[in-house]
Amino acid sequence: MDLWTWAYALGALLFWSSAFAGIRAALLGLAPGHLVLVRFLSASLVLLLFAGLFRLPAPRREDAGRFLLLGFLGVFGYHTALTYGEVSVAAGSASLLIATSPVFIALLARFLLGERLAPGAWAGLALAFLGAALIALGEGEGFGLDPGAVLVLLAALSGSLYFVGQKPLLARYSAQAVTVYTLVAGTLPLLVFLPGLGEAVRSAPRDALLAAVYLGVFPGAVAYFLWAKALARVPASLLASTLYLNPVLAILIAGVWLGEWPGPAVLAGGALALLGVGLVQRFNPR
pLDDT in tens, 210-235: 999 999 999 988 998 888 788 777 76
What is the spatial distance between Cα 155 and Cα 161, in angstroms, rounded to a whole number?
10
| Averaged pLDDT of the chain | 86
- Kindly state the average pLDDT of the residues 128-144: 69
pTM for this structure?
A: 0.86
CB 27 within 8 A of CB 87: yes
What is the spatial distance between Cα 268 and Cα 93, in angstroms, rounded to a whole number?
11
Task: State the pLDDT at residue 215.
Answer: 97
- Kindly state the average pLDDT of the residues 17-43: 97
The string of pLDDT tens digits covering residues 6-17 is 898 899 999 999
* pLDDT grade for 141, boundaries at 50, 70 and 90: low
- Which of 240, 239, 234, 224 has its CA nearest to residue 277? 240
User: Of 97-111, 184-198, 271-285, where does the model show the most confidence?
Assistant: 184-198
CB 67 within 8 A of CB 185: yes
Half-sphere exposure of 40 (CA within 13 A, CB side): 31
- Give first-to-last CA distance, the chain, whole Å: 20
Q: Tell me the percentage of the chain whose pLDDT exceeds 70.
A: 93
